[in-house]
A and B are shown apart, each in its own frame.
Chain A
Amino acid sequence: MEYFTTELLTLLFAALRSATPVLAVVLGEAMTQRSGVINLGVEGQMLLGAMTGFAVASVTGDPWLGVIAACCAGIALSMVHAILVLGCGANQIASGVAVLILGGGLSAYYGTPFVGDKIDALGNLNHTFVSDIPLLGEFLGPITPTVLITLLAIPAISIFLFRTRTGLRWRSTGESQDITRNLGHNPTYYQLAAIAFGGLMSGFAGAALAVDYTANWVEGMTAGRGLVAVGLVIVARWNPWYALPAALLFGASEALNLKLQSWGVDISPYLLATLPYMIPLSVLMLSYRGLRASGGGMPAGLRVVFQSAR
């Protein structure tokens, strides 16, 4: 029994760690979509963030500088989406795919010299006061700063979105740009901020992956995490609180995949590796059923985006 509890807790915390990059993207993308803009480019922004963060950490020797650089890279790339969508009025899905390809290409091109470098990790909570907490200390120890920052972002975003005047305007922009305009505010500013925030969070997510979680840079290392996150935003109903369980879904599938392999389960690792895509997709199917019935909190401005091909 105790063995079982330990294993379960280990799995849960492993899930939390591998869910963190996805959680950061879900939070950022949920905020972007709340303003009525969808950005599939988060995958590319995440890759560029991961590469930039790793490169800066490797060159300067300071992983925190890497995290900051990653955030900047994410914001910078997201501005391509902003210019295309807000400035030129281009289709949001197509523009997102363009950003996705650009981020993948740039990170592969400029990341090559850094492949195989060693960097200092961000460290974790081991040997801090946390280790002295009875029972849980053992599991809390491996928690790293990016996990904590991402978790703290949940209440912060929630308060901003639901308790502040700016948050209200942010949400109203996503429901109807006319309302925001009639109230005397420019909806484009809110959407610009929303895209930039999505860029910040996806860049940070890249750093969480490359500088913290794996301490490694490999071409294309995000492997669709950003795209899974865009799907999970729908599962989370555009709500920062639901983002955590939604992202844990991905984390748990990945942790389960690794766990099953370490137990020597006789299933091909390639089949197990489909779990982090299949499980979110299955839950997405379930949550779409609910969405169809009630609308499920989809910002009205997004419906238009989802229903136009050009």
Chain B
Amino acid sequence: MTSATQPVVKLGLQLLRGPAGAVLVMTAIFVVATLAFFAINGREAVSLFQEMVMGAFGDSYSFSETLVKTAPILLTALAVALPARLGLISVGGEGQLYLGALFGTGAVLAAVDQPGWILMPLMLAGSMAGGALWGVIPGLLKTRLGVNETISTLLLNYVGILLVSFVVHGPWKNPNSLGWPATIEFPAGAILPQFFDTRVHMGLVFGIVAAIVLHILVTRSRWGLGLQVSRSNPRVGATAGISYERNVLIVMAVGGLLAGLAGIAEASVIQNRLQDGLASGYGMTGFLVAWLAGQHFLRIIPLSVLMGGLLASADSLQLYAQLPKASADILQALLFIIVLAVASLWARRSNI
């Protein structure tokens, strides 16, 4: 080895000891774990893995479906990452998503005869209000009574899903749907704009813009600094006029609002109506992505695309390779476990 290349090698090794090395190790272990999972279940592991990658990013249609899945994951991940800035662990993305769909649909049904320029803003406002409500409730329980937000958000998820079931089986059921529990089809004015003749919709834009805005707000603004102070020591924050309680409500409401947007986008663009099983699992996937990203808003964007790819390819493999849908859950969980393990060990090692 010449002396000229030595600094480069040294730098490379240094990078490998840092976060880049951790990511490499995580990726390698995850690929091996996925192959092992396929092999254990008697599949042609390598070819199935190739198909999985192709199913997510192989052609423009696959990639568009990946982006369709990306939108709700991105929005629900932001709904986890923002409260985490205050040290809150919210697992309520799922319920907030359902409440957003519920309130947004309510607005559509109430103003169904109005033109699009009235209907669309009403629908979006409704969905944001619904999601924010499902974020503020655990926020209030936390600030007023001290109820742990993780438990209250988890329980409220089930309530939110049941409330949607209630309206689509009951008061909002379309009388002409031949017994199928769903609302009427949304009018054209209540369908969010889509791009390039695909199902990729405005929800993705909302998510990306929100991630960038939140990143700037949290890293550059007074309010963002206030969150940091509040988190590390609420009492110090209080002496500087920063109310921990008010910040809890704000981050929970804004997080819920974003997840609510994801809900109405699913109902409007993907289902064209409100019905049961609106978006099962996006909330949990969002939680996972937020943690994988280390609660960092900008890192959430590419990770949501990757996770969207996993879900989209699982959908297509279910069709073409009879791979059960649950395998997507198993692979997500494996990825989460591997990342948690490697990141924690890496952090521990660098502390020594």
Binding site for B on A (CB under 8 A): 40, 80, 83-84, 87-91, 93-95, 97-102, 104-106, 108-109, 112, 219, 223-224, 227-228, 230-231, 234, 268, 270-271, 273-274, 277-278, 280-281, 284-285, 288-289, 291-292, 306-310
23 contacts between A and B (CB under 8 A): A89-B348, A90-B340, A91-B340, A94-B291, A97-B287, A101-B332, A102-B330, A106-B326, A108-B329, A109-B324, A109-B330, A227-B155, A231-B155, A268-B169, A270-B169, A274-B163, A277-B155, A285-B145, A292-B145, A292-B146, A309-B87, A309-B88, A309-B89
B-side contacts of A109, CB under 8 Å: 324, 326-327, 329-330
Instruction: List 3 tightest A-B contacts by C-beta distance, closest first.
Output: A105-B329, A102-B333, A108-B326
Q: Is there a chain A Cβ closer than 8 Å to B115's Cβ?
A: no
Contact of B341 among A84, A219, A228, A288 (CB under 8 A): A84
The answer, among B157, B163, B330, B340, for a CB contact under 8 Å with A94, is: B340
Q: Contact: A273 with B162, CB < 8 Å?
A: yes
Q: A83 to B343: give the CA distance in the assembly, Å.
A: 14
- Contact status of A98 and B145, CB under 8 A, knowing A109-B327, A231-B151: no
B105 within 8 A of A: no
A108 to B325, CA, bound (A): 9
Q: Mark B285-313, 1 if CB is under 8 A from A, else 0.
A: 00110010011000000000000000000
- Cα distance A84–B83 in the bound complex, in angstroms: 24
Q: How far is the CB of A277 from chain B (nearest CB, A)?
A: 5
For the complex, give the distance between the alpha carbons of A90 and B166 in Å.
39
User: Who on chain A is nearest to B332 by CB?
Assistant: A101
A97: chain B residues at CB < 8 Å are 91, 284, 287-288, 336
Nearest chain B CB to A235 CB, angstrom units: 11
Asked if B345 is at the interface (CB within 8 A of a chain A CB), the reply is yes
Which chain A residues lie closer than 8 Å to B170 at the CB level?
A: 268, 270
Chain B residues in 8 Å Cβ range of A268: 166, 169-170
Q: Are B163 and A112 in contact (CB under 8 A)?
A: no
Which B positions have Cβ atoms within 8 angstroms of A? 84, 86-89, 91, 141, 145-148, 150-152, 154-159, 162-163, 165-166, 169-170, 231, 284, 287-288, 291, 294-295, 324-330, 332-334, 336-337, 340-341, 343-345, 347-348
Distance of A100 Cα from B155 Cα, bound (Å): 14
In the bound complex, residues from chain B placing their C-beta under 8 Å from that of A310 are 84, 294-295
CB distance from B99 to the nearest CB of A (A): 13
A100 / chain B contacts, CB cutoff of 8 Å = 284
Return chain B residues, CB-CB under 8 Å to A273: 162
Q: Which residues of A contact B343 (CB under 8 A)?
A: 90
For A102, list chain B residues within 8 Å (CB).
Answer: 329-330, 333-334, 337
* Contact indicator A98/B155 (Cβ below 8 Å): no
A51 to B336, CA, bound (A): 23
Given that A88-B345, A95-B340 are known contacts, is A288 also in contact with B145, CB under 8 Å in the complex? yes
A1 to B345, CA, bound (A): 65
Q: Which residues of A contact B332 (CB under 8 A)?
A: 101, 105
| CB of B151 to closest CB in A, whole Å | 5
Give Cα A182 to B2, complex, Å: 54
Per DSSP, chain B at the interface is helix
Given the complex of chains A and B, what is the CA–CA distance between A84 and B338 in angstroms?
9
Contacts known (A231-B155, A270-B162); A105 close to B326, Cβ less than 8 A: yes
CA distance A171 to B31 in the complex (A): 41
- Nearest B-chain residue to A289, judged by Cβ: B145
Q: Which residues of A contact B163 (CB under 8 A)?
A: 270-271, 274
CA distance A230 to B150 in the complex (A): 10
B149 to chain A, nearest CB (A): 10
Partner of A88, one of B284, B287, B341: B341
Contact of A271 with B154 in the complex, beta carbons under 8 Å: no
A80 proximity list for chain B (CB < 8 A): 337
Asked if B151 and A270 sit within 8 Å, CB to CB, the answer is: no
Residue pair A101, B324 in contact (C-beta under 8 Å): no
Chain A positions within 8 Å of B91 at CB level: 97
- Cα A285 to Cα B328 in complex, Å, equals 36
Partner of A270, one of B89, B165, B325: B165
Which residues on A sit within 8 Å (CB–CB) of B347? Answer: 89
Closest-CB distance, B232 to chain A (whole angstroms): 11
Q: A102 to B169, alpha carbons, bound, how many Å?
A: 31
Cross-chain contact B326 with A277 (CB below 8 angstroms): no
Q: Enumerate chain B residues within 8 angstroms of A219, measured Cβ to Cβ.
A: 326
Q: Are A230 and B326 in contact (CB under 8 A)?
A: no
Taking the closest CB of chain A, its distance from the CB of B83, in whole angstroms, is: 8
Cα of A84 to Cα of B170 in the assembled complex, Å? 45
Q: Nearest Cβ in chain B — how far from A19, in angstroms?
A: 17
- Known contacts A223-B158, A309-B89, A101 near B145 by CB under 8 Å: no
Most A C-beta atoms less than 10 A away, residue of B152, B155, B325: B155
With most chain A CB atoms within 10 A of its CB, the pick from B170, B326, B334 is B326
Q: With A224-B154, A268-B166 in contact, do A101 and B329 touch (Cβ < 8 Å)? A: yes
Distance in angstroms between the alpha carbons of A94 and B337 in the assembled complex:
9
Instruction: Specify which chain B residues have a CB less than 8 angstroms from the CB of A95 in the assembled complex.
Output: 337, 340
Would you call B340 and A280 a contact (CB within 8 A)?
Answer: no
Which A-chain residue is minimally distant from B335 (CB atoms)? A98
Partner of B344, one of A89, A112, A223, A284: A89
Report the minimal beta-carbon distance from A112 to chain B, rounded to whole angstroms.
Answer: 6
Q: B134: shortest Cβ distance to chain A, in Å?
A: 13
B residues within 8 A CB of A307?
Answer: 87
Report Cα–Cα, A268/B172, bound state, in Å. Answer: 13
**In the bound complex, what is the Cα–Cα distance between A69 and B37 (angstroms)?**
22
Identity of the chain A residue whose Cβ is nearest the Cβ of B351 in the assembled complex: A89
